[in-house]
Structure 1
Amino acid sequence: MRKLPSRLKKGDLVGVIAPSSPPNQESLQKALPFLEELGLRVKLGNSVTAVNGYLAGTDEERLADLHAMFEDPEVSGIFCAGGGYGAARIADQIDYAMIKENPKVFWGYSDITFLHTAIGEYADLVTFHGPMLASDVGKPEFHERSRRMFNQLFEPFELHYTEEVTPLETLVGGVAQGELVGGNLSLVRSAIGTKFDLDVKGKILLIEEIDEEPYEVDEILNQLRMARKFDEAAGIVIGDFKNAEPNKRQPSLTLDQVVDHYFSQLKIPVVKGFKIGHCEPHFSVPLGALARLDGDAKTLTILPGVE
């Protein structure tokens, strides 16, 4: 079992960093009061306002920010301002031994998937796949259920996703137990062949995506299939695929046809329809925590991500 970070408490200081692209400053400023409403004090990293083309500062600046927040004994948790691109550029320079010695809440998704995988693998720490400040929290459409998902950081409780949350569809029945891993499909694919290649053996693989047409999703899933990811996984949780509509390629298979092609013949439980990803509401989950996927009952149960 991976190490659980300590739960957050009212009055705790949390850091905000931008390991990927520059966050929208207007949205970020609208989001910061949300952290204060949770009873948290906020420390902004230097990367949050830095701009280096499509990156939030240089690799050195973003890396230094990440290290500083984990090393600072006064910082109890770290929230990513946004995603975009760039997290993978610093992954092989991160001091994972230091992070392992300073375990704390780390929260984000999308491009941050690469850091979730790396920190999980090399610092043995449970991290959180959830809405980001500028990308989600600061937007008018930020959902009340998405807000409530932050409560799991303050009190350890099991998460239960059933059809009371959203309709679900079972592609393959059965029950699987294992660590929940994964995140954004493109980022899982981008790590194949590197030291950060996602280990899915005996684990439940979560996938979600945004702005990829069915043929692009097909290409990524085919690579994961050939890399034997689906053979090794214990179960598959299919999250939200936002804007997965054919645009450049007409005529096209539908996303459902693509997904069914790759998953319906597997011998492990596969369930789709989870509102996890670039969506509202966004059901936040602890990655690396023990989960149970029941394809027959259409439920996903996840043990607490904090201690």
Structure 2
Amino acid sequence: MTSTALRPALLPPHLNPGDRVRFVSPASTPDRELVANGVDLLTGWGLQVELGDHAFDSLGYLAGTDEDRLADLNDAFRDPGVRAVFATRGGKGAYRIADGLDFETVRRDPKPLIGFSDITALHLALWKEAGVVGIHGPSMSWYEPNCGPECAEALRRALMTTDEIVVREDPKELSAALTAGEAATGFLMGGNLDTVRGAIGADLPSLDGGILLIELNHGTGLGMVDRQLTQLMRSGLLEGLRGVALGQVVGYDDAVSNGWTVLDVLRDRLAKLDVPILGGLPIGHGLQPATVPLGTLATIDPAAGTLTVAPGVR
């Protein structure tokens, strides 16, 4: 496998009005009413929305069996008329099927996969095995209070234009306190911290020459954050890392251990990497999240407070 630092990214074509797109559920079962909102949103852009056969299946915390969820994904990738694949939600389970993706078809006919959270596992696998750019963006369980018109417009621009994407640091985000260092450039890769950590030894590519994007959601304790970051550092996959783009940190406001907060844990661990950090990015599980490509060239500028990312479509 060619080094991910040197391999050119495969950019899917941008979407146009009239294009067919498909909603699938690679992880947990979505709410039908929220998915209907997502259908309305994309239909308003002139897209033709289809639903995977098993989009509303339910099996414990999964949207049906591994076989059926994987079949929906691969059917969407193999259908030449489908021009983008949208995850209805994250949750749990995408990591169970990431190794079964039809990477040969994806390389031959790249199309964007849009999603975040547990869908991070699929983004990592698609980049590692096929070099295809993904889109870290909101799921199609569309809930307007969490993702309003500005959020929707950012998603539309990322998919239907070839404009450069600029995300600005929000000083109100908890992670803004960790911003430090000089500007750095590299390919952007990552997503949900727990899912990135879980991909070690399987779907996580080398981040030599990359900018690591991480966001945290509803913590299970400060020790877990410590464990996740330490595992990443010991994996060897962060050697040659050029910077960290730190998104939203959700659910840790009241987490304190012997005077330490989540910021203390992040500061302690990330300092060992000795790379620039741009925090405060509105990317992740918080309100009004931005949309960014994964796999294209990005620059973090801590002094300016900006993350600039090359388009994820051509």
The match for 2:196 among 188, 191, 196 is 188
The match for 2:294 among 272, 287, 293 is 287
State which drifts further: 203-212 or 223-232: 223-232
Counterpart check, 1:173 vs 2:178: no
The match for 2:146 among 115, 119, 141 is 141
Counterpart check, 1:41 vs 2:52: no
Provide the rounded CA distance (Å) in 2 between the counterparts of 1:218 and 1:108.
26
The match for 2:218 among 185, 197, 211 is 211
Distance 1:104 1:243, change over 3 A: same
Provide the rounded CA distance (Å) in 1 between the counterparts of 2:129 and 2:51.
26
Please report how far the alpha carbon of residue 296 of structure 1 lies from its aligned counterpart in structure 2 after TM superposition. Answer: 2.9
Q: Conserved in 1, the CA contact under 8 Å of 2:170 and 2:282?
A: no
Counterpart check, 1:300 vs 2:307: yes
Please report how far the alpha carbon of residue 162 of structure 1 lies from its aligned counterpart in structure 2 after TM superposition. Answer: 2.9
**Structure 2 length normalisation: TM-score?**
0.91
Superposition map of 1:155-304 within 5 A: 155-163=161-169, 168-169=176-177, 171-194=179-202, 196-212=203-219, 213-246=221-254, 251=258, 253-264=260-271, 266-304=273-311
1:172 partner amino acid: A
Provide the rounded CA distance (Å) in 1 between the counterparts of 2:269 and 2:123.
25
SS of residue matched to 2:233: helix
Q: Conserved in 2, the CA contact under 8 Å of 1:169 and 1:271?
A: no
2:247 partner amino acid: G
Q: Conserved in 1, the CA contact under 8 Å of 2:208 and 2:238?
A: no
Please report how far the alpha carbon of residue 124 of structure 1 lies from its aligned counterpart in structure 2 after TM superposition. Answer: 1.2
State which drifts further: 219-228 or 106-115: 219-228
Superposition map of 1:70-89 within 5 A: 70-89=77-96
**Structure 1 length normalisation: TM-score?**
0.93
Please report how far the alpha carbon of residue 141 of structure 1 lies from its aligned counterpart in structure 2 after TM superposition. Answer: 3.1
Provide the rounded CA distance (Å) in 2 between the counterparts of 1:252 and 1:246.
11
Equivalenced residues, count: 303
Q: Which residue of 2 aligns with 1:102?
A: 109
Please report how far the alpha carbon of residue 170 of structure 1 lies from its aligned counterpart in structure 2 after TM superposition. Answer: 5.3
Counterpart check, 1:26 vs 2:33: yes
Structure 1: runs of 5+ lacking an equivalent:
none
Q: Conserved in 2, the CA contact under 8 Å of 1:29 and 1:138?
A: no
Structure 2: runs of 5+ lacking an equivalent:
1-7
Q: Which residue of 2 aligns with 1:68?
A: 75
Percent identical among aligned pairs is 36
Provide the rounded CA distance (Å) in 2 between the counterparts of 1:219 and 1:87.
22
Counterpart check, 1:58 vs 2:54: no
Please report how far the alpha carbon of residue 300 of structure 1 lies from its aligned counterpart in structure 2 after TM superposition. Answer: 1.2
Provide the rounded CA distance (Å) in 1 between the counterparts of 2:253 and 2:35.
29
SS of residue matched to 2:54: helix
Q: Which residue of 1 aligns with 2:5?
A: none
Distance 1:46 1:252, change over 3 A: farther
Provide the rounded CA distance (Å) in 1 between the counterparts of 2:145 and 2:279.
27
What does the per-residue CA deviation read over 1:255-286, in whole Å, with 9 as the maximum and x for residues that have no partner? 11111112235432111110100012101100
Q: Conserved in 1, the CA contact under 8 Å of 2:189 and 2:210?
A: yes
Q: CA RMSD in A?
A: 1.9
SS of residue matched to 1:172: coil
SS of residue matched to 2:34: helix
Please report how far the alpha carbon of residue 96 of structure 1 lies from its aligned counterpart in structure 2 after TM superposition. Answer: 0.5
SS of residue matched to 1:33: helix
Please report how far the alpha carbon of residue 27 of structure 1 lies from its aligned counterpart in structure 2 after TM superposition. Answer: 1.5
Counterpart check, 1:91 vs 2:95: no
